[in-house]
Chain A
Amino acid sequence: MKILEVQHLNKSFGGLQAINDLSLGFEEGEMSSIIGPNGAGKTTFFNLLTGYLRLDSGKILFKNQDISKLPNYKIGRMGINRSFQISHVCPSLTVFENLRASILSKRKKTFKFFTNVGGMKDIEDEVMSSLDDINLKDLAGTPATQLPHGALKSLDIGMALAMDPQIALLDEPTAGMPSGDRMRIMDLIQRLWKQKGLTIVFVEHDMDVVFAFSQKIRVLNYGSLIADGTPEEVSQNPVVIEAYLGDED
């Protein structure tokens, strides 16, 4: 079953057509990637899916329900959660406090006004176990600003995954990392994907990462889908080779 599907999606900025009549769908339980040259519309696509941008025309269906007019926080509540290309964490809050935001929101505990949040044992346990999932347990008390880049990325991803999303959209989870760290963080994502039975879509530039961790690959170019298939199919697709893999860099 397709958990998330878009039909004839269009979005332009001024005169620039960022997304051009795009139709595709994501299978439940799949771990897939979106690739494409810079400016292909990948981040715009994520922003549309999560309500951070409004589409010009088309449909976004989440479990067959049109969510294209919903505000971003409602989409976040429905179980479509994202991480950001440039880390979006709370810089002066600790790792623990950052992740706690996800857990409090997920457990619908945010409108409690007179309970001491420090005394909520169940919340604390859940935060710690989520931190354990992303290997940040030892850094729980560290303010996010003091984290090394890799840990910051993990935290950003962890905040999305701690929501127990029905589908997680990860925007360049390995951006700015040395290649050894890239594999490590992708291993971690893959492990959580299997363990929790998540559906994951990620945007990525590193082809080694893409081919190692995707069941399906979608290739965007100028806002249109030019290929959709298994890594093997995509790597042999002449259009892709022409448009993208051929003149990489």
Chain B
Amino acid sequence: MWGIIFAASLIILSFVYPSEFLINLFTQILIMGLFATSLNLLVGYTGMVSFGHAGFFGVGAYTAAVILQKYSTSVGFAFGTTIVFSAIAALIIGSFCIRLGSIYFAMLTLAFNQIIYIIVIRWTDMTGGDQGLIGGIPLPGFLSTQRAYFIFTVIVVAASLVICKLVVDSPFGAILKVIRENADRAYSLGIRVKSYQLIVFVMAGIFGGISGALMSLSISGAYPDFCYWAKSAEPIFMVVVGGMNSFLGPLLGAAIFKILIAYSTMYTNLWGLIIGGVLVLIILLVRKGLADYVMEFVAARSVDGPKNLLSPKKTG
């Protein structure tokens, strides 16, 4: 419900205040927000720290871009294929990764991330190699303006977020949190932990892929940089800075990240210093995302109602 209002107001805003810079910035924020939210299904909800999520971003970006550029199909078909390919990639990669815990899980996701990166770099015929997939991606007329693509992005991201939100608030989502907190216990309750981990890994891969597809279409090209391992750190930044215990935290984190970069690059080339500095301060001093702060503040002010005692505090 809130999502629809928010999405509608964004669309209206794009008409009221048609700044190309802002429309572009918000398009990027939404795409990265979906990317970070998909990662947070793993990191925040299930406790699986993946350092290879950019791999799926890359799979999605290249699948959609290649399909549209070389086979000139419909956008719907391109997104359908993206979902299928990201799901397959996540299923294969996930079924290996879920065997491992903590740091080893992170290392293995990183290794698979790099394997995808190398495939992209070396499969020049299909992907354009080092240069990236250039030459533009043909889009149908109804998506050709920047504002039209923005509206399209709003709709796709909002729909994806609604699905994610439904899942984290479902019984399945409740079990994910139990696995995050105490997998050993979950087993004794008859829960086959690995199945849940694999399912959520595939989900995260699919939405990571969708965000990649949105990105390549928005900038009319796909680049190997999309799936370089360092790109995997970006959504982690967003999750941590925005807040991994709130559903919209990662989206907020994406906004902070993109705005920081957009404005700092106007004045300096040393945006890494700024982003890195923010991260160090947050990790060493607060260790809590912005959205988590807000949620806790709200929760602390409304704790007196008996309903709050009964219905568990929503972490979503």
Interface residues of chain A, those whose CB is within 8 Å of chain B, are 50, 52, 71-74, 76-77, 81-82, 84, 88-94, 96-98, 100-102, 104-106, 109-118, 120, 123, 128, 140-141, 159-160, 163
Cross-chain contact B171 with A112 (CB below 8 angstroms):
yes
Asked if B186 is an interface residue, CB under 8 A from chain A, the answer is: yes
Contact with A along B181-200 (1 / 0, CB 8 A): 11011111111110010000
A91 CA / B312 CA spacing, docked (Å): 14
User: How far does the Cβ of A43 sit from chain B's closest Cβ, in whole Å?
Assistant: 14
* A71 neighbours in B (Cβ, 8 Å): 187, 192
* A-B pairs with beta carbons under 8 Å apart, 12 shown: A50-B188, A73-B186, A89-B182, A90-B180, A90-B181, A93-B181, A101-B191, A109-B171, A113-B167, A118-B311, A141-B310, A141-B311
Residues of B within 8 A of A81 (CB): 188-189
B280 interface hit (Cβ, 8 Å): no
Complex interface bits, B135-155 against A, C-beta within 8 A gives 1, otherwise 0: 000000000000000000000
A207, B70: Cα distance in complex, Å: 78
**12 more A-B residue pairs beyond the given contacts A81-B188, A113-B166, A114-B170, with a C-beta to C-beta distance below 8 A:** A76-B188, A84-B185, A88-B182, A96-B310, A101-B174, A101-B185, A104-B174, A105-B189, A117-B170, A117-B173, A141-B308, A159-B185
Partner among A88, A112, A123 whose Cβ is within 8 Å of the Cβ of B185: A88
Cβ–Cβ < 8 Å partners of A104 in chain B = 171, 174-175
Q: Which residue of A lies closest to B245 (CB)?
A: A92
CA of A128 to CA of B193 in the docked complex: distance in angstroms?
25
A110 close to B175 (CB less than 8 A): yes
Which residues of chain B have C-beta atoms less than 8 A from A73's C-beta? 186-188, 190-193
What is the chain B residue whose CB lies nearest that of A102?
A: B189
> For window 278-316 of chain B, which residues contact chain A by CB distance below 8 Å?
308-314
A178 to B309, CA, bound (A): 28
Structural contact, B191 and A105, CB atoms closer than 8 A = yes
Per-residue CB contact flags for chain B residues 160-171 toward chain A (1 = under 8 Å, else 0) read 000000110111
Least CB separation from A160: chain B residue: B188
Across-interface contacts of B181 in A (CB, < 8 A): 89-93
The 4 closest A-B pairs by CB, nearest first: A90-B181, A77-B190, A76-B190, A141-B309
Closest B residue to A118 by beta carbon equals: B311
Q: Is B172 an interface residue (CB 8 A)?
A: yes
Nearest chain B CB to A226 CB, angstrom units:
29
Which residues from chain A contact B190 at a C-beta distance below 8 Å?
Answer: 73-74, 76-77, 105-106, 163
B312→A141 contact, CB < 8 A:
yes
Q: Given A72-B188, A73-B190, A73-B193, is A110 in contact with B171 using a C-beta cutoff of 8 Å?
A: yes
Q: Knowing A88-B182, A96-B310 are in contact, say whether A115-B188 is a contact too (CB < 8 A).
A: no
Smallest Cβ distance from A144 to chain B, in angstroms? Answer: 9
Does the CB pair B193–A117 fall under 8 Å?
no
Instruction: Evaluate contact between A117 and B169: CB separation under 8 angstroms.
Output: yes
Please, how many angstroms separate the alpha-carbon atoms of A187 and B259 in the complex? 60
Whether A90 contacts B182 by the Cβ 8 Å rule is yes
Q: Is B118 part of the binding interface, using a Cβ–Cβ cutoff of 8 Å?
A: no
User: Contact between A115 and B182 (Cβ–Cβ < 8 Å)?
Assistant: no
